[in-house]
Every structure is written in structure tokens, then in C-alpha cells.
Chain A
Amino acid sequence: MKFESAYVVNRNQREVSPKHFESAYVVLPIDNIDTDQIIPARFLKTTSKAGLGDQLFNDWRYDASGAPKPDFVLNQPDAVKAHVLVAGDNFGCGSSREHAPWALTQFGFRAVVSTSFADIFKQNALKNGLLPIVVPADLHAALIATPGAIVEIDLEKQTITLADGRSAEFPIDPFSKHCLLEGVDELGYILSQSAAIESYEQRRGI
């Protein structure tokens, strides 16, 4: 597969690219985790991207006084070492807020593993270096059964490998993969086609 090589590459603006890494993971075995849980709407009044990691899963994570709830998985001591979140089916349903992947990446996550993702969340995640990894139900069940274990994620090979050696290939849009691996800036890629955009507008007389 070949892509135009003339588009702008802007590596400096990218988050850490999750190309190949090993990490502990945390599990939130709940289906349909919506964006209002990932980052409640009242934190969307900000005009910047910064500081959202502290509010990630705010209403599950803190009690009414603002103190961390000790039984919530992100408040457990090992959570800070986990760069992978394993969650139930249809993760990220609800709103289009990109604040959801911003909060997840600021907390330190580089991948979310589920059996499916909501469409807009998946797009937003890929634009922020957060891998939405879909795995088969049996592998998903195995991950949930062994929280705290290590997984290896290889974007180039599109594989996720468990500590016991079980492995699965995960699907990813080839263009998104290319952008993540090569640090391609999507807006730069779009703007490299300005001539086509202008000729389209002329053709329609708009």
C-alpha cells in the first residue's frame, strides 16, 4: 500500500506513539461504558486539552467529598503502571467529546481493549495515539480473569499477546496504522490535497 509522501509530518505535536510496548493492564468489566462516565460533561467547560486525566472516570473514582474511592480500580496502587485498560463491550458510546481519549491518554493509557468500540470514540482515540483494540470474546474473558498481568501490544504486527502466550491479531484501519507508525499528521495530509478540494468546489460551483 502506498501513500503520498509529500504531506507534512509533524512529529513534535504527537503524543507518545504506541507502536510496540509491554504493560500491565487494569480491568473495568462493564459493558457500554459511555463518555459521560469516562469524562463527565461538567468538565467540558475547559477551553484547553490539559488537566483532564485527573477527572478520568471522575464519578466512579471519587466520593462526594472528592476523596478517591479505594475499591475503584484506577485508585489501586498498581494502576499507575498500567498503560492498557480492558473494558466491556461497546466502549466509548455516547457523545463525540474528544475529551474522552484526551483524559485516557493523560492518565497514561495507550490502549483500550474491548470486544467492540463506538464509532466516534474509535476515531477520536486513533487521532490521539490511543489504540482501540478489538479482541475475540475468549481472549477478552481471559484478560478480565487475570487483572494485573502483562500484555504485549505490537501495532506493526497488529498483535496482542497475553502472558501465557495466547495471542490475537486485532483489526485497525490501515491508514490510521500508517499515521501512527510514521507520525503522519492527518491535517497536513488533507491540506496536501488542496488542489483537489478547490477543483471539487469549482466543479460544483460553490
Chain B
Amino acid sequence: MKPRTIIEKIWDDHVVAEREGAPALLYVDLHLVHEVTSPQAFDGLRKRGLKVHRPDRTIATTDHSTPTTPRGLPIVDKIAAAQVETLEKNCRDFGIQCYGLSSDRQGIVHIIGPELGLTQPGMTLVCGDSHTATHGALGALAFGIGTSEVEHVLASQCLLQRPSKTFAVHVDGALKPGVTAKDIILALIAKIGIGGGTGHIIEYRGSAIRALSMEERMTVCNMSIEGGARAGLVAPDDKTFEYVAGRPFAPKDFDAAVAKWRTLPSDEGAVYDREVSIDAHALEPMITFGTNPGMGIPITAAVPDPSNVSDALERETLSKALRYMQLPAGKPLVGHPVDVVFIGSCTNSRISDLRAAAGVLKGRKVNPKVRVMVVPGSQQVKAQAQAEGLDKIFREAGADWRESGCSMCIAMNGDQLQPGEYSVSTSNRNFEGRQGKGGRTFLASPLTAAATAVTGVITDVRTLL
């Protein structure tokens, strides 16, 4: 038998039917649903008089448009409140488990899937959200879909799909102190560009990936879409199995599940359509300077100069980004003042991220000119952080410790930058206005964010370690 990649193995296991000329009908093991991309899909079901085919394989939460103010307060934004109520009603009507704002399992959809043991190796998993690739860290084939496809999966548990090309990203070598999983993925995106992975699914491989914790692997997989890849995954190993063990939705016959999961890693000799290598030891902390996540540089490097770019459209794109960011070309970002530091999002709001940020902030104060928001990814993360006293460290340093949700990553819930403000953010997108109309975002790791919170200017965390 031809050697297969893990991507092909999971694909093959989930093909329900294939007809000549048509995409494969692919079975979806787990469908995660949130309030923003689902209401029109449920409307579609109602219009057709359809039921949800597998409510037992569908889990919902509210995260995007929900406030991070104390729970129990009403949602002030009436449109957001209606959207949250709509999801809760849809879940009641169609028999779907919803972890809403009153649940201790609520959180960002990509945080709670792994945390509850819902996400498991070898699964196909979809959600109406482009950061669904996060779940690939567990060895699942997970990708974002649009609302039409949400409706398809609700009605049939299936998707019409063509196979993507396979892309091996090899990351080898030991990371230096102060360099994190976030820096690996920002460096990859800077290397391949934000369209570099289009049409591909990435498998992250190599000693540096194996050395990462499960949460760090989630950070890497999370931003696959920022490199244009619809999905990214890491083959499961003992770390994966230990992570899943004991979680609420872990398989009952765990040993049998592990035996099957051990067959998932790519076969020796499997061929990828594309391969790229990164030397982890050569990486520095990364930061973005522009208006897409591919515009990233090592923190000590200079912002690129458009006059050095030969392609006219590329040059104009870079110039436009620097005009929006109001940054001079040719200078490093270190020392640039910021107004806000945001620590959160499905990229970097897990307990290990909060521990890393708290490690920098412990015994220090945030610069009084900077508003610092720490938003745990879920209620479980929040509870764990509080049990460890991290909330106290954040509060004593002068940071704002908030309730769980997407918050200022997407700025739908009132947590947002004011026009012209600069943030260092641990989130995944620095598009124009992403964190609030007119806001300007520098993407970086939790360590860099915490260091910047202390000094009030963009800071190389290695100077504080």
C-alpha cells in the first residue's frame, strides 16, 4: 500500500461517498457552533423543515459577541444580546448542547473543544470559524467553513469537499529563551506569506514541534489560516494521549482509542506536495509591523522599506500598510509606544499563556499609560488561573482581569481600540480595524505582550528575563 500522510489517512476514513466529477461527501465527527455564523444556517433548516442530523455530534457556545464584563450583567448591546439569545433558542429547538454564558464550560470555541476532550485524534471537525485549525494540534483534521456549509453539516453531518494538497512544515532545533510557539508560527507566515498555504493542509513536523506542549501546538495550528492553509495539524503522540486522558468527553475505552490513534502518524516515505523547513534555534521573538499577519519581523529587525520592493502592487500594498500603521520604514519597532496590551484569543489564552505573561508581570507594574486586558480563553482557564493566583498577579500589576471570550481579537463585544490607538496583541490578525475601527495592531507572543505592558513601549522580552 502507498505510504500515506496523516492528512490522507483521516480523509480516507471519513469519505462517505464519491461520485465521478463531484466532490467527496466527507463525514464530520464533531461540529462546533457559535452565535455569529450559525443563525442563518438554522433559519435555512427551518425553511426546509429539516432537523439537525446528529445533535449528539454538535456542541455550541457563545464567545464572539459576548461581553467580558462580570457575568450576570445584561448584554448592553441589544443586537449582540439578540444574537446570543438566538443561538440559545436554536440550540433548545434543535436539541443541541450549548455552553452559554451561565455555564462553567463556556469559552472560546477553539479553547473548549480540546479542554473538554471533545477534540480527539483522527477526527474530522468543522466550525463556522477560520481558526478551527487549532484543533489540529490533537491530530484532528479541522477546518473553518462558511454558513452555507454550517447548514449542510447541521442537516447531514457531511460536507462536500475536494482533497487539499499536503504541505509539510519541518521545524527542527531548540527554541532559545524568550522565543515561543507564537514566534514559530509568525516566522512561518512571514516566510511563506499570507497566501502561501492556499489550497494546502499543513502537517507541522520536526523536533521543535514534538518538543512543544499540547497548548503550544494549538497556538501553532491556530494560525494556519493566516498562512492561507485551511487546516494544520500535528501527528498525535504520547503527549497528545496524556492530554486527552481524563477529560470529560475522552473516550470511555481509552486504551482501544489510543491503539487506533497510534496508527495515525504519516507513514515513512509519505510524499507531500510541498515542504518547507524552519530552524527553530535561529528564531527570535517575532512581531508584526503591518496590516496582515505575513508582515512580521524579528523584534530586533527593521521595518521593511517599500522602496526596496520591485513589484508595483506589492510595493503599494506595503506602503499602504505603513501609512495605516503610521510607521517609518527602515527602523526597528522596539521602543514604539503602545496604548493597549491585549492578552487573549484562541491563539494565546490558555493557562500556559497566562502563566507565561504572569511570569513577566509578577512583582512588576504595568506602565500607567497602557491599558492591559487579560482575557482567559474559557471559564475553565479562568478558574485554573485563579486557583494558581495568576489573577492576583495581573491585578496587582495593574492589568484588567476579565471574563472569557474572543474579546478584543475581533472587537465585536465592545472591547476595542479607539481610532489611532496602538496595541500589542497576542491574537491572530492585524488587519486594518480588526481590533476597532482605526486601531493599529502589533501581533506578538504573550511574553512580548507582557514585557510591553511593563515598559509601555514595544519591548524585547529577553531584556526582562
Chain A residues packing against B (C-beta within 8 Å): 1-4, 13, 29-32, 34, 36-37, 40-42, 44-49, 59, 64, 88-90, 93-98, 116-120, 123-124, 127-128, 173-175, 178, 186-187, 189-191, 193-194, 196-197, 200-201, 206
Residues of A within 8 A of B158 (CB): 190, 193, 197
A-contact 0/1 string along B295-320, CB 8 Å cutoff = 00000000000000000011011001
Partner of A120, one of B16, B64, B144, B294: B144
Total A-B pairs, Cβ < 8 A: 181
Interface of B is mostly: loop
| B411 partner, pick from A42, A190, A191, beta carbons under 8 A | A42
Closest 10 CB pairs of A and B: A90-B195, A47-B39, A124-B146, A98-B146, A1-B21, A96-B144, A98-B147, A127-B148, A36-B431, A196-B17
Known: A1-B20, A96-B128, A124-B146. A37 touches B432 (CB 8 A): yes
Instruction: Tell me, rounded to whole Å, the shortest Cβ–Cβ distance linking A182 to chain B.
Output: 13
B37 x A175 contact (CB < 8 A): no
Verify B155–A187 contact, CB threshold 8 A: yes
Q: Which residue on chain A has the smallest CB distance to residue B81?
A: A45
- Inter-chain CA distance A88–B247, complex, in Å, is 46
In the bound complex, residues from chain B placing their C-beta under 8 Å from that of A40 are 433, 437
A120 and B40 in contact, given A36-B431, A190-B152 (Cβ under 8 angstroms): no
| Complex contact B27–A197 (CB within 8 A) | yes
Residues from chain B with a CB closer than 8 A to the CB of A118 are: 195, 198, 228
Could you mark each residue 51-83 of chain B with 1 if its beta carbon is under 8 Å from any beta carbon of chain A, else 0? 001000000000011000000000001011011
Q: Which residues of A contact B146 (CB under 8 A)?
A: 96-98, 120, 123-124, 127
A173 touching B412, Cβ below 8 Å: no
Choose one: A34, A128, A186, A200; the contact of B431 (CB below 8 Å). Answer: A34
Chain B, residues 148-166, CB within 8 Å of chain A (1/0): the string is 1101100111101010100
**Given A13, A98, A196, which contacts B25 in the complex, CB threshold below 8 Å?**
A196
Binding site for A on B (CB under 8 A): 16-17, 19-23, 25, 27, 29, 36-37, 39-40, 43-44, 47-48, 50, 53, 64-65, 77, 79-80, 82-83, 86, 128-130, 144-149, 151-152, 155-158, 160, 162, 164, 194-195, 198-199, 225, 228, 230, 292, 294, 313-314, 316-317, 320, 410-412, 419, 429, 431-434, 437-438
The reply to whether B21 and A194 contact each other, CB–CB distance below 8 Å, is no
Please, how many angstroms separate the alpha-carbon atoms of A128 and B429 in the complex?
A: 26
Which residue of chain B has the shortest Cβ distance to A199 in the bound complex? B16
Say yes or no: A119 contacts B230, CB within 8 Å: yes
Interfacial chain A residues near B194, Cβ < 8 Å = 32, 90, 93
Complexed CA–CA distance, A37 and B53 (Å): 35
